[in-house]
Amino acid sequence: MDQKLNNAFTLFLSLLVEAMPFLLLGVLFSGVLLLFIDERRLIAKLPKNPMLGALVGSFIGFLFPVCECGNVPVARRLLMQGVSAPVAIGFLLAAPTINPIVIWATWTAFRDQPEIVVLRIVFSLIIATIVGWMFSVQTNLRPLLQPAIALAIKQPEPEGRVLARRESEGSELLRSGTFLLGSQPGQMLRLDASVLQATLVATPPAQSQIKRLSLLLENTVQELRELGAVLIVGSAIAAAIQVLVPREVILNLGAGPVSSVAAMMLLSGLVSICSTVDSFFALSFASMFTSGSLLAFLVFGPMIDLKGVGLLLSIFKPRAVIYLFVVAAQLTFLLTLFINLYVS
Amino acid sequence: MNLRTQTFLLPWLDVLAIASWGILLLKYWLNGKLGLLIHPDYFWLVTLTALVMLTICGLQVRELRRRRSCASRVAHLTLFPPGLSSSILLLTALLGLVFTPHIFTSQIALQRGVTDTVAMTRAQPQAFRSSRPPEERTLVDWVRMLNVYPEPDEYTGQKVNVQGFVIHPPELPPNLLMLSRFVITCCAADAYPVGLPVKLDQTSKAYPSDSWLEVQGQMITENLAGKRQLTIQASSIRQITEPKNPYDY
């Protein structure tokens, strides 16, 4: 038992120590870029063709290197500024995977299996494009959106008012972001990356430098704390599974082409580990699970997981979230099963 | 939790949590334990992260002190209830500061399957050093070579001088033990054991699991579980202390 605890602790710490730099990098990079990219000019250049739009949307992650916790506020902002559904959905599903930091982290973890790195990108692109394209059939997206977002699309309000709107629907426990305490007790204003940016833009130039830095700092500390905690919980789960679950169970599960994919998809949905660092989590299973199942974890996890569903519900109605979930899950399953059966 | 605690204490808890991680990473770097956890290629990245984290904390402390006079500014309601995330971070960092990590034991090696000796290396032999005289090859060099030229008879009679730790796989006969090393490519999470069986004149129980040995002898071919397997016939065995960097790359 003593040995097991020691092994689990070493595994746990090594996951954390290797992942921390990438987490920090992701948080800093996305925070800084949010300040410098002019979205309106970007949106004007987006293609109108749904298929192409979804594909281009999938690549926007290169400009906003966010993980799956940061992409929802950005996607919401894009939608509200009139970006078409395929672009927004493509971005939502692919941005957590297709961005330089995540690709670097995946490469770090799977240096000796480069096919995992490449296929992770390719599969995420395929799935994001197909799902985005499917959503283009629904020309009027509003019935699928939360009322507040739908309203914002219909009649654009002045930026600051839309963004700092009062949160009244639903539980706030599962909503990520910063909240400003209002002047009345119990009143809360939700602050997320979009509000951060709006505040930054609205800040008078006289005191802007200090205030900008201070907001960026605030944002960094918060995200680091929040995502760091999720990373710790995820690493603890990975270490515990490695050490506590009997070898026969893991091997039986991990060797089957179908069971391994199903198990890894389930795990990715539950663990909710951030996409910048999930490749290290997957790595700890690399010797026992099929390549297809590792890919399933790496492709599906960033798209939809327990933590992400809470965030997605701040944009979409439950019906739309279920569509997204089912289609993405099926496509991931088919693609990675194909790898297990016919390639590796 | 009242408003006052939320707005005044929580920001400081955040700073403390991030600072504790900066200190933990720095400590591992300074006391050389980083090598137990990750591949040396990433030492600089971790050290840099520690410094950036501490800088962020320094800036945030200045910010919080400057702001103390103004009334409530920002409070956070996030995925976890307020304060929980930072507590998790802080607690884990403290655990890391108090308990020292140790290298994996043979239990992990058995869990990850050291038994199938030959098929085991995932790493491509990037630094393939076949030109080395046999007695200078490390255990990992031998296994990599075996991956490229798997015929055990090729090596018969060659001199061996290798170091590693002891594993007792249940399926080995009583006069054999497995001498192993962990190889890592990224961090301890992907550590996988490579090893060769060692044939002794006595029972292998004399050498407990996880003890480190230097084995000299020569290569022979044994029939183990119906498979021809390159094996070290030991002529001398010396107990050694765990090397400073127990992994191989």
CATH code of the domain in which B120 resides:
2.40.50.140
pLDDT at A119: 96
For residues B87 and B59, membership in a common domain is answered with yes
The tokens for B99 are: 């308990």
Under an 8 A CB cutoff, do A229 and B89 touch?
A: yes
Q: Higher-confidence residue: B154 or A31? A: B154
Residue A142 has pLDDT above 90, yes or no: no
Render pLDDT for A211-245 as a digit per residue (tens, 0 to 9): 777 878 888 888 888 888 888 988 888 888 878 88
For residues B92 and B128, membership in a common domain is answered with no
Domain count for chain B, please give it.
Answer: 2
For residues B94 and B113, membership in a common domain is answered with no
For residues B138 and B69, membership in a common domain is answered with no
Give the torsion through C-alpha atoms of A192, A194, A198, A203, to 10 deg.
50
For residues B143 and B194, membership in a common domain is answered with yes
pLDDT at B3: 64
Which is nearest to B149 in space by CA: B125, B127, B173? B125
The region of weakest confidence among A18-22, A180-184, A210-214 is A180-184
For residues B131 and B167, membership in a common domain is answered with yes
For residues B66 and B158, membership in a common domain is answered with no
Per the prediction, chain B carries an average pLDDT of 82
The parent domain of residue B91 ranges over 3-98
Under an 8 A CB cutoff, do B123 and A112 touch?
A: yes
- Measured between CA atoms, how close is B107 to chain A, in angstroms? 7
pLDDT at A156: 42
Of B68, B98, B128, the one marking the end of a domain is B98
Q: Which of A101-105, A331-335, B113-117 has the highest mean pLDDT?
A: A331-335
Residues 6+ apart with CB under 8 A from A7: A242, A243, B104, B105, B107, B108
Residues 6+ apart with CB under 8 A from B164: B139, B179, B180, B181, B195, B212, B213, B215
Tell me the chain B residues in contact with residue A284 when contact means C-beta distances shorter than 8 Å: 189-190
For residues B111 and B58, membership in a common domain is answered with no
pLDDT at B90: 95
pLDDT at B77: 41
Residue A64 has pLDDT above 90, yes or no: no
Q: Higher-confidence residue: A169 or A5? A: A5
- Measured between CA atoms, how close is A139 to chain B, in angstroms? 33
Residue A141 has pLDDT above 80, yes or no: no
Per the prediction, chain A carries an average pLDDT of 78
- Cβ atoms within 10 Å of A136's Cβ, excluding its own: 18
For residues B242 and B130, membership in a common domain is answered with yes
> What average pLDDT score do residues B118-132 get?
49
The region of weakest confidence among A118-132, A257-271, B108-122, B220-234 is B108-122
Of B58, B81, B98, the one marking the end of a domain is B98
Cα–Cα distance, B79 to A173 (Å, whole number)? 6
Q: Which chain A residue shows the shortest CA-CA distance from B123?
A: A112
For residues B203 and B143, membership in a common domain is answered with yes
pLDDT at B219: 92
Of B98, B116, B135, the one marking the end of a domain is B98
Q: Which chain A residue shows the shortest CA-CA distance from B17?
A: A225
For residues B56 and B117, membership in a common domain is answered with no
For residues B224 and B188, membership in a common domain is answered with yes
pLDDT at B223: 85
The region of weakest confidence among A258-267, A286-295, B1-10, B185-194 is B1-10
DSSP A190-201: EE-HHHHHHHHH
